[in-house]
């Protein structure tokens, strides 16, 4: 399954930007740029153009799309796939791969899987309102196919 155009726009709205200068994401404790692209240690930390921000977004969404495809073994709907790509984009693929949410999806328990989105609302041990809002939107996408934005 491949992510939808609606998902790409959903991620852009929630990530904000594009941020054309590297900035420190205090919540994630990483440098990022564009639409939430985490700057890896082997990448140059430099200003980018809007076009480069769009290209980084495409690269990142493809990466997380591939990761979700590899991890999910149970048949799912497009909206469920997209919601999990958005979640993994935000929390990281390793975290998604080890999640209870994924375990529920892979046994077809979508009701319990949907509840698990709300587990991912904290940073540094504190509930973050923006994460609560994003997880609520991802859960709506997962359950109802609603692609609401920030």
pLDDT digit string (tens) for 88-111? 999 999 999 999 999 999 999 999
Q: Is residue 149 part of a domain?
A: no
Segment 112-122, tens digit of pLDDT: 999 999 999 99
Degrees, nearest 5: CA angle 81-92-106:
40
For residues 77-98, give the mean pLDDT. 97
CA angle 82, 85, 86 (to 5 degrees): 90
Give me the number of domains the chain comprises.
Answer: 1
Percent of the chain, pLDDT > 90?
92
Q: What is the CATH number of the domain that holds 76?
A: 1.10.530.40
Residue 8 has pLDDT above 80, yes or no: yes
pLDDT value of position 26: 73
The domain in which residue 10 lies consists of 5-144
Tell me whether residue 25 is exposed, middle or buried, using C-beta atoms within 10 angstroms of its C-beta: 0 to 12, 13 to 18, 19 or more.
middle
Find the angle CA(50)-CA(1)-CA(133) to the nearest 5 degrees: 60
Triad 80, 85, 86: Cα angle to 5°: 100
Find residue 25's DSSP bridge partners. Answer: 30
Q: Is residue 111 part of a domain?
A: yes
pLDDT band at 150 (very low <50, low <70, confident <90, very high): low
Quote the pLDDT of residue 27: 81
HSE-CB at 85 with a 13 A cutoff on CA atoms is: 33
């Amino acid at each position: 399954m491949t992510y939808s155009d609606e998902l790409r726009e959903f991620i852009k709205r929630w990530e904000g930007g594009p941020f054309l200068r590297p900035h420190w994401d205090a919540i994630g404790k990483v440098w990022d740029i564009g639409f939430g692209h985490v700057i890896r240690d082997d990448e140059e930390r430099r200003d980018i153009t809007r076009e480069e921000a769009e290209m980084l977004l495409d690269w990142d969404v493809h990466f997380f799309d591939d990761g979700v495809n590899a991890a999910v073994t149970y048949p799912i709907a497009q909206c469920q796939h997209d919601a999990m790509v958005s979640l993994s984009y935000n929390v990281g693929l390793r975290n998604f791969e080890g999640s209870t949410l994924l375990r529920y999806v892979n046994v077809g328990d979508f009701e319990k899987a949907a509840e698990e989105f709300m587990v991912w609302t904290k940073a540094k041990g504190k509930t973050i309102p923006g994460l609560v809002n994003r997880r609520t939107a991802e859960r709506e996408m997962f359950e109802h196919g609603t692609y609401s934005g920030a």
